Amino acid sequence: MTKHIKILEHALSSIVRRRFKNLAIIVAFAFTVAALSTIIFFTDSLKTEAENILASAPDLIVQKTKGGRHDLIPIEYAEKIQIIPGVGEVTPRYWGYYYDALTKANYTLTGLMSKKSSLELINGRLPETRGETAIGAGIADIRNSEVDGELILVNSRNLGVLYKVVGVFTADSVMLTNDLVVLNNDDIIDFFDFPDGKATDIAVRVYNSSEIQNIASKVKRLFPETRPITKSELVRTYDMVFNWRSGMMIAVFSGAIIAFCIMAWDKATGISAEEKQEIGILKAIGWDTSDVLALKFWEGFIIALTSFFLGVIAGFIHVFFFDSSILAPIIKGWSVLFPDFRLTPHIDLYQLFVMGFLIITPYVASTIIPAWKTAITDPDTVMRG
C-alpha cells in the first residue's frame, strides 16, 4: 500500500514538473468534457423539470382520432367514462394553439379546467367571467401587457376579440405557463368556434394508479375511435426523447473524445529526452517495469480525473449559473417564446459516473501502450549515456 501511495506522490510531482505540457492536455480535455457535460446537465435538468410537470398531468387523457389525426371529442363520452369503476374526476378540456401574426409566436389557449387548478402561481387572479384572461409571463412581455391591461386576439372567424388581463403567471411557473392564455370555458368555445357538445379532449383521474392501464383498455373498448394516453406513456415518451437527445450528443461527442485520445496517444508517445532519462534513472536505481507502468497509469489517471472534474464544474456553472448562454441559441432555434427560466441545479450521480466512464476509460486506455514503451527502457541506458 505504501508503495502505491509513494508512486502516486511521485506521479503528482512529475505532473507538476512538466506543468506546461500537462496543462495543455488538461485544458483541451476539460473543454471537451465541459461541452459534453453542458449537454448532459441541460437535458437532464429539462428531463427533471418535465417529470415534475408531468406529475401534475392527468392520469389518462382521452383523445378522439379521425383518419389518424386528432379530432374533437363528444362530451357525452365523459359521462360514459365516469361510470367505469375506479374512475375519479372526468373533465372535458377545451384548448388549442393560436398563431399570433403580430409577434410570430405560438400561444396555447386553454379553458379553466377546474377551480383547483395546478396553475396556482399568479400575480392577480384567474379569469372568473367572460372577457377576462390570465396570461403567461412570456406573452405579457412580448405583447407589453400586464394586470389590468388588454390582450387582443383574432378568433377563428377572423374577428379581433378584446380580453381584459386579470392575471399574469409568475416566473416560477414559467416552464408550464410561458406561452399560456387562460380563458373562461365559454370564451374558448366561442373563440375556436367549437361545435356544441364537443371538447378538445377529456382528462381522467384514476383512484388507483395501478389500474390506469386497465381503465385505458376499457375506454378503448367502449370507444374504439379514441386514443387513451396514459401518464406513464407520456413519461416514457419524454424519457425516450431526452435519452435520445443526450445519447445523440454523447454519440457526437464520442467522436471528439476519440480524437482527443488519439492526441493523447501521440503526446504520450512523444516522450521528451528528460522524461526518458528520468525513467532510465528510476529503472537503474531499482524500479521494475511494473512500477514504472504504475507511475504512468497514475499520471494518466490524475490528468484525466482533473480534466473531468474541471470540465464538469465548468459545465455545471455554465448551465445553472450562466443559463447555458453558449448553448441556448442552438436549442432555442425556431421558438420565439423560449422560456427564460433558471434551471434547478441538479446532479445525477449516475450521469456523472457514465460520463466519467466514457471519458476517463478511453483516455487511460490510449496511454497504456505508450506508457509500456517508456517503462521497458533498459536500466543501463543511464550508464551508456
- Which residues here bind another protein, judged by CB under 8 A? 1-3, 6-7, 10, 13, 17, 40, 213, 232-233, 235-236, 239-240, 243-244, 246-248, 250-251, 254, 277-278, 280-291, 293, 297, 350-351, 353-355, 357-358, 361-362, 364-365, 368-369, 371-372, 375-376, 378-380, 382-385
What does the alpha-carbon distance between residue 375 and residue 384 come to, in Å, rounded to a whole number? Answer: 17
Q: How far is the CB of 293 from another protein (least distance, A)?
A: 6
Q: How far is the CB of 365 from another protein (least distance, A)?
A: 6
Q: How far is the CB of 54 from another protein (least distance, A)?
A: 12
Residue owning grid cell 480534466: 307
Q: How far is the CB of 383 from another protein (least distance, A)?
A: 5
Q: Which neighbouring-strand residues pair with 154?
A: 160
Nearest to 182 by CA among 247, 96, 240: 96
Pick 123 or 277: Cβ nearer another protein: 277
**Dihedral over Cα of 281, 283, 289, 295: its sign:** negative
Pick 48 or 106: Cβ nearer another protein: 48
Pick 91 or 351: Cβ nearer another protein: 351
Pick 98 or 242: Cβ nearer another protein: 242
Pick 175 or 368: Cβ nearer another protein: 368
Pick 59 or 132: Cβ nearer another protein: 59
Q: How far is the CB of 1 from another protein (least distance, A)?
A: 8
Pick 62 or 257: Cβ nearer another protein: 257
CB atoms within 10 A of CB 104: 11
Q: How far is the CB of 171 from another protein (least distance, A)?
A: 30
Pick 91 or 277: Cβ nearer another protein: 277
Q: How far is the CB of 364 from another protein (least distance, A)?
A: 7
Pick 177 or 374: Cβ nearer another protein: 374
Q: How far is the CB of 148 from another protein (least distance, A)?
A: 45
Q: How far is the CB of 250 from another protein (least distance, A)?
A: 5
Nearest to 218 by CA among 84, 58, 366: 84
CB-CB contact of 190 with 127 (8 Å): no
State the number of CA atoms in the 13 A half-sphere of 311 facing the CB: 28
Grid cell in block for residue 87: 374512475
What does the alpha-carbon distance between residue 34 and residue 28 come to, in Å, rounded to a whole number? Answer: 10
